Amino acid sequence: MICKVTYETDARCVAETRSHQIIVDQPAENRGTDEGMTPPELLLASLGTCAMYYAAEYLRRNNLPANGMEVFVNAAKAVAPARLGRFNIRVVIPQVADPAHLEGARRTAEKCLVKNTLLVTPEITLTVETLALMV
């Protein structure tokens, strides 16, 4: 997997992967134009959409309706270093009432790749380079 992020102005950038683009920005009070989600909001969206995908797959395999399903993700900030320290993912499946199927959807959503990535500390490297000609 690869994602390219290109700076545009102030706090706005564009993230691209495959043939898709997402505008990432900051609210006005953070020198942005509020034209897109912030990076932490994208992380919440990534967790939520991943959990929804897995829950929907469970429902599909069991011929159950996923219509109207919603996922709510919230996070609490932590300090030293600044980060998101606690996440809560809540999946609401309005058309399924059977506790066994709700549990099945929960167990399947627990397999979310993004969630599991955050649970096991990944190796992250960061480099800074230049394309400017050296003189």
* Whole-number Å distance between alpha carbons of 88 and 126: 28
Q: Is the pLDDT of residue 134 over 70?
A: no
Q: What is the DSSP code (8-state) at residue 14?
A: E
pTM listed for this prediction: 0.90
Residues 6+ apart with CB under 8 A from 8: 14
> Is the distance from CB of 93 to CB of 104 less than 8 angstroms?
no
Q: pLDDT, tens digit, for every residue of 51-82? A: 999 999 999 999 999 999 999 999 999 999 99
DSSP H or E run through 130: none
